[in-house]
Structure 1
């Protein structure tokens, strides 16, 4: 490739020298380039079962050379053009039933009619409710609504207040403090202390500065604890009950069945269509009367179809090999009741089966394995190594579980900070620093000690 040298060069005396006449010179730049089939392999490898199904459907729609095999024409033919991409199993996906969602707009419109809202107020409410986010908060300033409808902002605010005190209360609030205060007035209209805490000491409250609030309000700890329980019962996301989002079910990519002292590894492709090459188009390609342009098009589609089927088979074999290697590297987890993990990295698996780390990463990313004791994400079987004082190594999942236990049984009036947790772990033989504890605590979604503090 040709590159233009900059006007400065580095000489042997370690000085930059100005070049009078910059020139173009040819240098060799070696970079590994993936061919289309390798790119397709990589893309298919990283898909989980659900996404692979969608990808197959997309490919069927755009490639006439591919078709779903007719059940009546199935043959045990694996010559590369009639490969089946289906693996049989009796396992079904782990589906979760969801109740039908309530119509948010219809519900609130009906409630507004019940409280005798005028036609104009209903018109304003429709615009307000149309700008409510998933959590139930108003996502636009009231002055913008007023400008849009060409009416006074005070009229908008009046309708917002009406909506805020419908059921559930707090809908159309501008912030969490406003939302909780509306709910407090709705559910506990006589709770003066809780109202004062949220009105005047909200920032201290969310930061768990309870002693400071008690001192400023001059209340006793029992009364404060009662208010704390009341406020904790409020819903900071009142719109969540109307959420139309349906959680995706987990479709395990791998199913493991215990067979005496061994494991049966089943790649869960039972719901995938079986792909074959379209015979009619294949004959058309081989027909001497077919136009050359048509042949070129069909040949390109045939190559792509073969690559696609091959990529699915490569995914199948790779995931199976990776799962077998993981089982071999984690005997304590798969063969004993305590199911303790050993340290294991992507490189460990890659070295065992002589594959690139990136391939192992793609084959495990977003994949789930169904075990006799539950369905887990494949990446949870990988963990860092933590050294013990006796020279041995353990998985960092053991340390994480220990941190969780320490926090669970700590004195909530005097919660341990990261340094203190690190001291406990070091006394137990683990070699960990405070920053390591902080990293693991955050990964476990455990708050800092200040936010874990409770009052009496």
Structure 2
């Protein structure tokens, strides 16, 4: 007994100690292998392919398996005394592999400049890289590429570049032109007149977007209307004097103020809607990632089959040549240690890939077992489902499910959907049948699509219709919340005149 502690306190102390021990053990279990496996599980398809390519480049022990590649993840490192009848012990073979190892160390070692190209093809690859356009990382990079070939004086280029770096994510330059000129003057230590900023903006728009560098939305839209043309007089009037009414869909008020008919107002609004509100969008750097579904769900002989796309899940194996190198290097401790580390790293990575594939497949099968109605009837049959339910069914932690579905997509008979799409709360119909939030939102959109556009349904009316026609009992504020989430305007905003 610990002196000075009463028995209850002692028990609590022991429990605390055991709890701390368990936590310490849990932390110890977070080995590099486990951390790597969790990171690999979370990667979306395209990022996984990039990671695999990087590992293939960095680790000479890895190669893409062809045909029936040997299963290496559970094997022990090659026995240095097992020659297996190969001629790997020849001096020539060992020297050749060690030469290759030295080249690898030289080209992919700790050089801050990264891997160096072999001398025999460096010129060819360097030329190819120089002729490949770099992918712009941001709006500024993309626009700077556009203006790089402009023939302008150095001082004018400085103005252009400053304007570009001052653009916000929408391609706007919200600052007053005098303020921009003042700040640029301070940075360049010379006087820059506001007129130079205006000229720079005009020059920029000639080679990029006609509204790039606009001060705000109104300015961006006005810049895209041809100046001096009578056909755009009404559009300009609406934008300069009635933008608030336009956003609130108060067409009769605009009609009364301008003396034009509602039909003329609607025609002008059609022109305005054809303009680009975000001039920087097309220069937004990297294009959106192409959706590449890893999970495939297809109907075969009346049954739905869930599988992974093998093209997105490349099988890797250990290079036989480098496995033999471990056998041959037993007398050189430094080389042997390097080889063992690389081999161990390769096996960890292969195991992480296989674990990812197995986990993702198990998650997908459980998801679509529970969402069988969706596969047969579409979104309207989507059931409420939470990650914890799937985690319990698979006997894994909920974080494993979260990582497993993150950034992953499934190709189904009803289209391509993110795996996270199938996890949603829901409500219970008057019949006692459960329905998911997504299916309620889908039904809400259908009601709005089918409504009388001259007399749109209010949120109260939408709630009543859902209850009467579908047995879905939700409050008006929930309807309002779902409507806004779907990007649907209020009844006054949806009204057509």
Establish whether TM, by shorter chain, passes 0.5.
Answer: yes
Q: Residue 361 of structure 2: SS of its match in structure 1?
A: helix
Provide, for residues 5-47 of structure 1, a one-character-per-residue CA deviation record: whole Å limited to 9, x for no partner: xxxxxxxxxxxxxxxxxxxxx9653533223222222111112
With 299-308 and 310-319 compared, the bigger mean Cα shift is at 299-308
In 1: Cα distance, 2:203 partner to 2:68 partner: 68
- Count matched residues: 404
Task: Kindly indicate whether residue 109 of structure 2 is the aligned counterpart of residue 68 of structure 1.
Answer: no
Q: Distance in 2 between matches of 1:40 and 1:55?
A: 12
| Cα distance, 1:339–1:310 mapped onto 2, change above 3 Å | farther
Displacement of 1:403 in angstroms is: 0.6
1:436 aligned residue: 478
TM-score, length of structure 1 as denominator length:
0.74
CA shift in 2, pair 1:105/1:43, >3 Å: closer
Report deviation, 1:242: 5.7
In structure 2, relative to structure 1, the CA distance for the partners of 1:351 and 1:79 (3 Å cut) is: same
The CA RMSD over aligned residues, in Å, is: 3.8
On the 8 A contact 1:383/1:395 being kept in 2, the answer is yes
Q: Is the 8 A contact 1:124 1:156 kept in 2?
A: no
Q: Is the 8 A contact 1:412 1:452 kept in 2?
A: yes
Q: Is the 8 A contact 1:164 1:182 kept in 2?
A: no
Distance 1:260 1:105 in 2: 56
Distance in 2 separating the partners of 1:106 and 1:296: 47
Cα pair distance change 1:410/1:193, threshold 3 Å: same
Q: Verify: 1:229 aligned to 2:277, yes or no.
A: no
Write the deviation string for residues 281-315 of structure 1: whole angstroms up to 9, x where unpaired.
54554554131x55455444433322221121111
Q: For residue 430 of structure 1, report the CA deviation from its aligned partner.
A: 0.8
Moved more, 405-414 or 37-46: 405-414
Residue of structure 2 in register with 1:91 after alignment: none
Asked whether the equivalents of residues 256 and 371 of structure 1 are also in contact (C-alpha less than 8 Å), the reply is yes
1:180 matched to which residue of 2?
221
Partner in structure 2 of residue 333 of structure 1: 374
Cα shift at 1:361: 1.9
Question: Which of these residues, 45, 52, 72, is aligned with residue 48 of structure 2?
Answer: 52
Q: Secondary structure in 2 aligned to 1:431?
A: coil
Counterpart selection for 2:37 from 38, 41, 63: 41
Gaps of 5+ in 2: 1-15, 77-134, 137-141
Quote the Cα distance in structure 1 between the aligned partners of 2:282 and 2:301: 47
Aligned to 1:11: none
Q: Please say which of residues 198-207 and 310-319 is displaced more in the overlay.
A: 198-207
Please, what TM-score do these two structures have when normalized by structure 2? 0.69
> How far does residue 161 in structure 1 lie from its aligned partner after superposition?
5.2
Change (3 A) 1:124 1:290: closer
Cα gap change, 1:441/1:62 in structure 2, threshold over 3 Å: closer, same or farther? same
Question: Aligned with 1:137: secondary structure?
Answer: coil
Cα distance in 2 for residues equivalent to 1:282 and 1:109: 50
Supply the distance in 1 between the matched residues of 2:378 and 2:491 (Cα, whole angstroms). 34
Partner residue of 2:296 out of 255, 259, 272: 255
2:390 equivalent among 349, 356, 361? 349
Cα distance, 1:75 vs structure 2: 4.6
1:152 alignment counterpart = 193
Question: Does 2:326 correspond to 1:267?
Answer: no
Match of 2:71 in 1: 78
Aligned to 1:316: 357
Distance 1:393 1:328, change over 3 A: same
Find the residue that maps to 1:304 and give its secondary structure. Answer: helix
> Which residue matches 2:436?
395
From the superposition, tell whether residues 252 and 213 of structure 1 become closer, same or farther in structure 2 (CA, over 3 Å): same
Per-residue deviation, residues 320-378 of structure 1 (Å, max 9, x unmatched)? 22222223222222345887322222223223322222212222221112234532222
Where 2:311 maps in the other structure, the secondary structure is coil
- Shift of the 168–356 alpha-carbon distance from structure 1 to 2, 3 Å rule, reads closer
Q: Distance in 2 between matches of 1:349 and 1:50?
A: 25
User: 1:196 & 1:363 partners in 2: Cα distance?
Assistant: 53
2:106 corresponds to: none
For the residues of structure 2 that align with 1:374 and 1:298, how far apart are their CA atoms?
Answer: 47
Tell me the distance in 2 between the aligned counterparts of 1:154 and 1:338.
57
Deviation string 1:218-253 (CA, Å, 9 cap, x unpaired) is 554334333323322322234545666434322221
SS in 1 for 2:424: coil
2:490 is equivalent to residue 451 of structure 1: no
1:375 aligns with 2:416: yes
Structure 1: unaligned runs, 5 residues or longer: 1-25, 84-99
Shift of 1:185: 4.0
The CA distance in 1 between the partners of 2:145 and 2:64, in whole Å, is 47
Provide the secondary structure at the position in 2 that maps to 1:265. Answer: strand
* Pairing 1:14-163 to 2, within 5 Å after superposition: 29=20, 30-31=22-23, 32-33=26-27, 34-64=30-60, 66-69=61-64, 71=66, 75-80=68-73, 123=157, 126-127=160-161, 130-131=164-165, 135-138=170-173, 142-143=177-178, 144-145=180-181, 147=185, 148=188, 150-160=191-201
Provide, for residues 384-406 of structure 1, a one-character-per-residue CA deviation record: whole Å limited to 9, x for no partner.
Answer: 23111222212222211111012
The answer to whether the aligner puts 1:407 opposite 2:456 as a matched pair is no
Distance in 1 between the 2:321 and 2:376 partners?
Answer: 51
Question: What SS class does the counterpart of residue 227 from structure 2 fall into?
Answer: helix
